[in-house]
Amino acid sequence: MLANINRLRKDWEIKKVFKDGKKTLSDNFTLCYLPNRFGYNRFAIVVGTKVSKLSTRRNALKRRMREIVRQSVQTMPQGFDIALLAHKLPNWPLKLDNIKPELSELFKKIK
């Protein structure tokens, strides 16, 4: 689970990241990031109903995305608010090994 200090909780904070932040795209995901005044990263993970109508699949994707973020949080540049948005569902059944390289490439683009 992601630590409480590493979560974007307020709706207006997430909207600000999407509106004012820089965007990086991949096949299945969009990463938006915005510098913050803290010395650590905060994350929001968004998987809408357009990705899948089944909540079980959306929740499974969010759990896997959160786990990859949790594993990668120490190796990323610090001091950013980051929002991850899923465009489409990668191949089902989901495996961490299918998603991790794509998200790792997005995390490397944060400056």
Residue 52 structure tokens: 């899948």
Per-residue pLDDT of the chain (111 residues; tens, 9 = 90+): 788 888 998 999 999 999 999 999 998 899 999 999 998 999 999 999 999 999 999 999 999 999 999 998 888 899 999 999 998 877 777 888 888 999 999 999 998
Q: Which helix (H) or strand (E) holds 20?
A: helix 11-20
Contact 17, 84 (CB under 8 A): no
The pLDDT value given to residue 49 = 93
The pLDDT value given to residue 18 = 94
What CATH fold (topology level) applies to the domain 4-108? Ribosomal Protein S5; domain 2 (3.30.230)
Tell me whether residue 61 is exposed, middle or buried, using C-beta atoms within 10 angstroms of its C-beta: 0 to 12, 13 to 18, 19 or more. Answer: buried
In the chain, domain spans? 4-108
CA dist 108 → 2, 25, 30, 33, 54 (Å)? 20, 12, 13, 12, 31
The pLDDT value given to residue 61 = 93
CA 30 and chain centroid, separation: 8
Contact 109, 69 (CB under 8 A): no
User: What is the phi/psi pair of residue 54, to 5°?
Assistant: -85, 120
